[in-house]
Amino acid sequence: MARIWLIDLESVETRYTKEWKTYFPALLRKNGHQVFVIEGPTDIPNATTPGAFLNFGGTNVYKSNQIEQISRAFTTGKVQQGDHVIFTDAWHPGIINIKYMSELLGIKVITHALWHAGSYDPQDFLGRLIGNASWVRHSEQSFFYAYDHNYFATEFHVKLFFDELLNNGRKEENPWYDEMWNERYENGKIVRSGWPMEYERKELEPYANMTKQNKILFPHRVAPEKQPEIFRDLKETLPQYEFEICMDKNYTKNDYYNALGEAKLIFSANLQETLGISWYEGALVGTLPMVPNRLSYSEMENTGKFLYPSEWTESFEAYKKHKDKVVERIIDYMENYDSYLVNLNKLTTHLNENYFSCKNLLEKLQ
């Protein structure tokens, strides 16, 4: 079994990073590996930057401390030849330090990283605020080439990464595109692996048989790429249902799970989604998803019952044009909720096996 140095993510109470803090190292140990967890300090800002996944300042304090710790482990001989180093967030400058030490000290380690987002996604914070600035694009490319194995939760994310970052948005100009794509899959440079979220099944079990109410949830971040204004307009249009934006409620995790358990429907008009955890959490507790036929949703939804045409919500203007169809679909889900449960169970099984299990990552540690 492997010796693993786990460079973890800072814990945010309302995000899955809280569960990853304990679950991921426990999963690795359960599979027989020796795990050394490199955590950062706890005295960093614990509130996320509004609309974001983490705190843009605090995360750098956290990562800088991790870099110091792993550097000391290299220089004192604790890191050994053949050890594995896993970054739970690929956007970590520490990979450059590790490659530097590994090559120059002659201590060869095998590096792994989970990609969540980056500047290559025009709807992500980095994509919207920084875009294709040379420093960020070259940094991300450097990270990718430095890691031995790069993990993505969906094929959609892999393709976005390849098209916009590795291929600089110029796929059609490069006839070697398909050959390069396949080669990187074959040599393990790119690995399509679900995320380590098997714990969700057990954690959400107590909320799976709650009495359903005429409640519709918006469980996403309140950010432009999630188009909350569409949800707010629907709330005004359909007063017979309770519409709830979870972030507006400042929920604890337990509050959020209770809301999921009570709701009949989760609504998405997202313009950015490389996985989508909330609709999976909803499915685990019997909450129907209504998601656009785009992004990772198109790949992951295997029943055809919960996708709506992408053009309905490609923008707020598009939504206004197709609003009657969106409203009609919502009413159908809400009034005929029970008739969709067989397909929801089929979807849940598919997501369990293929997207919320990190079996492909575990195989690379053998």
Single out the residue of 200, 92, 110, 122 nearest to residue 147, CA to CA.
Answer: 110
For residues 206 and 166, state if they share a domain. Answer: no
Are both 350 and 257 inside the same structural domain?
Answer: yes
124 and 218 fall within a common domain: no
Is this structure's pTM higher than 0.85? yes
**pLDDT for position 168:** 73
Report residue 97 as tokens: 């330090």
Instruction: Quote the pLDDT of residue 140.
Output: 96
Which residue in 138, 114, 122 sits closest to 197, CA to CA? Answer: 114
> Is the CB of residue 38 less than 8 Å from the CB of residue 60?
no
| Shared domain check, 236 and 207 | yes
Whether residue 169 is found in the same domain as residue 54: yes
Per-residue pLDDT tens digits of the chain, which is 366 residues long: 899 999 999 887 767 788 889 999 999 999 999 999 999 998 887 655 555 556 788 889 999 999 999 999 999 999 999 999 999 999 999 999 999 999 999 999 999 999 999 999 988 878 888 888 999 999 999 999 999 999 999 999 998 998 889 887 665 555 445 666 666 777 889 999 999 999 999 999 999 999 999 999 999 989 899 999 999 999 999 999 999 999 999 898 899 999 999 999 999 999 999 999 999 999 999 999 999 999 999 999 999 999 999 999 999 999 999 999 999 999 999 999 999 999 999 999 999 999 999 998 999 887
- What's 9's domain CATH number? 3.40.50
Q: Does one domain contain both 117 and 245?
A: no
Residues 187, 242 share a domain = no
Whether 42 and 161 share a structural domain: yes
Please check whether residues 156 and 205 belong to one and the same domain: no
187 and 212: one domain?
Answer: no
Which residues form the domain of 287?
Answer: 200-354
Q: At 227, which CATH number? A: 3.40.50.2000
What is the pLDDT at residue 179?
Answer: 63
Name the residue with tokens 């998803």.
Answer: 289
- CA dist., res. 216 & res. 151, Å (int): 33
State both tokens at 85: 């180093």
Total structural domains within the chain: 2
Q: Are residues 165 and 227 in the same domain?
A: no
